[in-house]
Amino acid sequence: MNRLLVTGAGGFIGHHLVTYLKQRGYWVRGVDIKLPEFTKSDADEFDLLDMRRWESCLQATKGIDAVYALAADMGGMGYLSANQASVLRNNALINFHTLDAARENGASRYLFSSSACVYPESLQSRTDVAPLRESDAYPAAPQDAYGWEKLIGERTLQYYSAEYGIQTRIVRFHNIYGPFGTYDGGREKVPAALCRKVAVAPEGGSIEIWGDGFQTRSFCYIDDCVEGLQRVMCSDQAGPLNLGSDQMVTINTLANIIIDISGKKDITLRHVDGPQGVRGRNSDNTLLREVLAWEPSTRIEDGLVPTYRWIDQMVRDH
C-alpha cells in the first residue's frame, strides 16, 4: 500500500493524517472541495474535487492502492441538528461514489471514518453512561441523520467486502480535537468552541455553555487519532473499532480545564439553552487494545494545552 488517497484532506483530521503518512514515507494524494484552511498540505498531489460527484471519485481513486475515506459534511451539534437532510444526502453520495470508484479502480483496501453517533441514544441517556462497545450499535437506533448515514456506510462497506473482495476497515471517531481545526463559524466541535470563547473572554467575564454542563463526553487528541487510523488500516480487523479516549469528563470540567490553561482569572460559566446531543458518551477501548495492542494515551489536560494556545493565537491575529 504505497500510494494512498486521503479524502477530506482539506479538513481537520484529513490534513493531519496526510502529514502523518508523508512522514512515514507514503505517497499521498489529498482530495477535498477546499484546501486546508490554516496551513499548506503536505500531500504529493492535492486535487480540488467534489466527492459527491461520480466523475470526481473516479479521478481521485485512479492509481491508488488504499483509501482513507474521511470526506464528510459535518460539524458540531448545532450544525448537524439544523442541517439533517443535506448532511444525509451529501454524505450518502460521498460514501457510495467513493467506495464504488475505489472498487472500480482496483484499490485493495478502504478505511471508512464512522462516528460514535451510530450508537443508540437510549444507551446515552445518563451522565454516568457505560462505555460504548462496538457491539452496542445494534439493535440500531443511531443519533439523528448523521448517525444513520454513518451506520449505513458501515453496512455498505461490509457488503462490498463480501461481494467484491475489497478489504475494508471501519473506525468510529469519538470527538477528535487539536490545533489547526475549525474554531468558529458554527461547524466547530465543543473543545474548539470553548477554547475560542475563553480566548475572547476578558478576565472577570463569562462564557456560554449549552445546557447545564453536566453532560459527559470523552475527547481524543488528533495525534492519537491519526496514529490510530494508520494502525487500523494496516491491521487485519475488518469490523468496526472505536477510536477515542476513554477519559470521560463533563462539559463544565472541560471548560474549567481550558480556563485554567488560559491563566485568566474569575471567568464564570453561564448556562443557556442550546443543542446538547446525548446526555453521556464514552468509548470502550477493550477491542481496540486487543486488536492493536495500543490505544489513545493523551490526557485531555495535556491535549488542550497546544489546542488552546493555537486558537488563542488565531483569535489574537484576527
Listing DSSP states for 17-55 in one string gives HHHHHHHTT-EEEEEESS--SSS----SEEEE--TTSHH
Of 151, 186, 198, 157, which is closest to residue 172 (Cα–Cα)? 151
CA 16, 261, 132, 271 torsion-angle sign: negative
Number of Cβ within 10 Å of residue 292's Cβ equals 18
Alpha helices (H) in the chain, listed in sequence order: 12-23, 54-61, 77-82, 84-104, 144-164, 190-200, 222-233, 251-262, 286-292, 300-317
Long-range Cβ contact pairs of 44-53 (< 8 A, separation 24 or more): 46/9, 51/7, 51/93, 51/94, 51/97, 51/98, 52/90, 52/93, 52/94, 52/97, 53/93, 53/97
* Residues belonging to the active site: 146
Evaluate whether 111 touches 69 at the Cβ level (below 8 Å): yes
CA 84, distance to chain mean position in Å, is: 18
Q: Cell digits for 225?
A: 487519532
Evaluate whether 41 touches 107 at the Cβ level (below 8 Å): no
Residue 218 makes CB contacts below 8 A (sequence gap 6+) with 174, 175, 244, 245, 246, 247, 248, 249, 281, 282, 283
Question: Rounded to 5 degrees, what angle do the CA atoms 251, 243, 113 make?
Answer: 105
DSSP-assigned letter for residue 134: G
